[in-house]
Structure 1
Amino acid sequence: MKKLMIWTCLLVLLTACSSTSEESGEESESPQDVTLVLDWTPNTNHTGLYVAKEKGYFEEQGLNVEIIMPGEAGADQLVASEKADFGISAQEALTKARVQDIPVVSIAAIIQHNTSGFASPQDKNIDSPKDFEGKTYGGWGAPVEREVISSLMKQENADAEKVEIVNMGNTDFFTAVERDVDFAWIYYGWTGVEAELRGKDLNMIYLTDYSEKLDYYTPVLTTNQKHIDEDPELVKDFTKAVSQGYQYAIDEPKKSADILIDAVPDLDPELVKASQEWLSPKYQDDAEQWGIQEKATWQNYADWMYENGLLDQELKADEAFTNEFLPEE
């Protein structure tokens, strides 16, 4: 009887230790560290990312996400070299990267349609691409700028050689057009909205009004091909959390704007709120769900780039993007 009691006590003790050990193991399982690099300084293109972090969507997927700035290397370079797990890019940049065998893949479209265009103060009287003649364009020195300007001007039998192109560097749009530039390429959701708040009337020439081939995805969410091949669960979990973040930003523009403002106090709160109100409906727009990408969109823009001498070879569109990690509706 005495031996039976001893064995019973030992069994209870061992069971308790085993249970405690299992519970301890579950509690001590730390989240996976993940690095996300932005394409530019934080703005409303990135709101869903900050929402996912603040609302705990990343944490629910077992991820500890650090959001970093791109620095001189650039987001694509950091993702390609595995110095960042995920990044923000644009279809035009990623298309060039892919034909150079840089292993970066788009896993979601952050904004469904291209919201960029050529902006100018109304008093410059630039109402159409033909009016670019005799004007000065301020850009950032990329070959694609001249080709886009030329492409639009050709449709109106205008001469792109009559446009002076200068590099604006870090000069902001408003300073540049008051000083030595007549028009520049902007995203209306940020700079255009800022113009409204400043009481500055702009003429906008949207790329999508002149060519469906210029309706590309900008920005996009990216990762390295190696993650897709070797750790698809990480990519799936990360994309699910980001998708939740952008869905919240679609449904709650005011609350999501507040989240971005709290996360990045240097931003102008008035601009963030106005920009968010303008941009939130455009994240998904007419797509079946947020983030979805169409092969035709990738192929059309790549064809345009190739036809205009911006690519050395044609893009294999199927390899540049994927929808497989988006949550099932």
Structure 2
Amino acid sequence: MKKLLIFMGCLLLFLAACNQEKETSQASTSQKKQMKNVKLVLDWTPNTNHTGIYVAKEKGYFEDEGLHVEVMMPGETGADQLVAAGKADFGISAQESITQARVQDIPIVSIGAIIQHNTSGFASPKDKNITSPKKFEGKTYGGWGAPVEKAVISSIMEKEDADVNKVDIVNMGNTDFFTAVKRDVDFAWIYYGWTGVEAELRGQDLNMQYLTDYSDKLDYYTPVLTTNEKMIANKPDTVKAFMAAVSKGYQYTINNPEDSADILIKAVPDLDPELVKASQKWLSPKYKDDADQWGIQDQKVWENYSEWMYNHDLLDKHLNVEDAYTNKFLPNK
């Protein structure tokens, strides 16, 4: 009898343990079912502009917000088109592209500035002696064929009474900066945080004319995070959750550039580790810069740049600024 009681006790404990394990498994399965799948499309191949996203994935910040995020490459279609069409829930773009899209009634909205100030400018090898926009005259500029390029070059050359028509503007396609300036062009438009840092690592001295040195109106947001109007209207909680996780990812990257660089290298092993680490060190302080919080956008910046674009015949009509961007999905400070 005593043995039977012991056996029955053990059996009950075993059954209770099995039941608890089943309940735990069901709860875990239920939690997985509740995770929302969203797609984020990059603007270009992965680089340090995107580090906060990869940090948010690695650190589980998206999971904490109930999101499973798939990172996509833009392909030939482009990030803006994929987001506007609902083929991707979120994307990476620039204020220039959003402005042009909104004027054409394309329903895409900027929901966060990845970098607070424009870090781009015109770069040339030191030995070409292009030390100012005036010296663009008689030189060859290599670009990608967008109307905004000539407008920007003209705008800063005018500050020095120089003539943009004396610049030979050619399309260098996908040729990288370092190959192009050795072969066919004298200067090109680069983002210093990647190409400029790479030049430092190569021991190649550059002359830089940063856009922000010549006009406050050219201090626009590039890059930015985007979504479409349907997401904002129908799934605002998802947008808010996404931005909470991304904000946390970029804040971590601001505070921990070395560890964040390692996370990006692990996620994208084809990248040059030395370049990623140097670029991240340069860029991390610039994500937030002088803003109150990462991601915040100022209406005046949107007004200034859209006015500049309109005045340089890059827009058919004025931008309705209030519809082009929003800060409402950023976390409360």
- TM-score of Structure 1 vs Structure 2, range by shorter chain: over 0.9
1:234, 1:97 → 2: CA distance? 23
Q: Name the counterpart of 1:159.
A: 163
Q: Name the counterpart of 2:11.
A: none
Deviations 1:119-146 (A, max 9, x none): 0001111011000000000000000000
Q: Name the counterpart of 2:195.
A: 191
Q: Name the counterpart of 1:24.
A: 26
Q: Name the counterpart of 2:129.
A: 125
Q: Name the counterpart of 1:78.
A: 82
Kindly provide the amino acid, as one letter, of the partner of residue 292 in structure 2.
E
Q: Name the counterpart of 1:14.
A: none
Percent identity of equivalent pairs:
73
Q: Name the counterpart of 2:185.
A: 181
Deviations 1:174-232 (A, max 9, x none): 00000010000000000000000000000000000000000000000000110101110
Kindly provide the amino acid, as one letter, of the partner of residue 207 in structure 2.
N
Q: Name the counterpart of 1:141.
A: 145
Q: Show structure 1 runs of 4+ deviating over 6 A.
A: 20-23
Cα deviation for residue 25 of structure 1 reads: 5.2
Q: 2:306 aligns with which of 295, 302, 305?
A: 302
2:84, 2:27 → 1: CA distance? 34
| More off after superposition, 25-34 vs 286-295 | 25-34
Kindly provide the amino acid, as one letter, of the partner of residue 254 in structure 2.
I
Deviations 1:283-302 (A, max 9, x none): 00000000000000001000
Q: TM-score, normalised by structure 1?
A: 0.93
Q: Name the counterpart of 2:154.
A: 150
Kindly provide the amino acid, as one letter, of the partner of residue 138 in structure 2.
G
What SS does structure 2 have at the residue aligned with 1:235? helix
**Unaligned ranges ≥5, structure 1:** 1-16
Kindly provide the amino acid, as one letter, of the partner of residue 30 in structure 2.
S
Q: 1:69 aligns with which of 57, 68, 73?
A: 73
- For the pair 1:87 / 2:76, whether they are aligned, the reply is no
Q: Name the counterpart of 1:249.
A: 253
Q: TM-score, normalised by structure 2?
A: 0.92
- For the pair 1:208 / 2:212, whether they are aligned, the reply is yes
Kindly provide the amino acid, as one letter, of the partner of residue 240 in structure 1.
A
Q: How does 1:252-291 map to 2 (within 5 A)?
A: 252-291=256-295
1:182, 1:107 → 2: CA distance? 36
2:278, 2:244 → 1: CA distance? 27
Q: Name the counterpart of 1:36.
A: 40
Tell me the number of residue pairs that the alignment of Structure 1 and Structure 2 aligns: 315
1:213, 1:29 → 2: CA distance? 47
Cα deviation for residue 315 of structure 1 reads: 0.3
Q: 2:322 aligns with which of 285, 305, 318?
A: 318
1:321, 1:169 → 2: CA distance? 30
Q: Name the counterpart of 1:59.
A: 63
1:298, 1:189 → 2: CA distance? 23
Kindly provide the amino acid, as one letter, of the partner of residue 36 in structure 1.
L
1:50, 1:104 → 2: CA distance? 23
1:110, 1:87 → 2: CA distance? 12
Cα deviation for residue 251 of structure 1 reads: 0.2
What SS does structure 2 have at the residue aligned with 1:120? strand
1:215, 1:296 → 2: CA distance? 11
Cα deviation for residue 28 of structure 1 reads: 1.5
Deviations 1:16-37 (A, max 9, x none): x9xx879835641321111000
What SS does structure 2 have at the residue aligned with 1:276? helix
Kindly provide the amino acid, as one letter, of the partner of residue 202 in structure 1.
L
2:313, 2:139 → 1: CA distance? 24
Q: 2:175 aligns with which of 171, 175, 184?
A: 171
Kindly provide the amino acid, as one letter, of the partner of residue 276 in structure 1.
Q
1:180, 1:305 → 2: CA distance? 29
Kindly provide the amino acid, as one letter, of the partner of residue 269 in structure 1.
P
**Unaligned ranges ≥5, structure 2:** 1-18
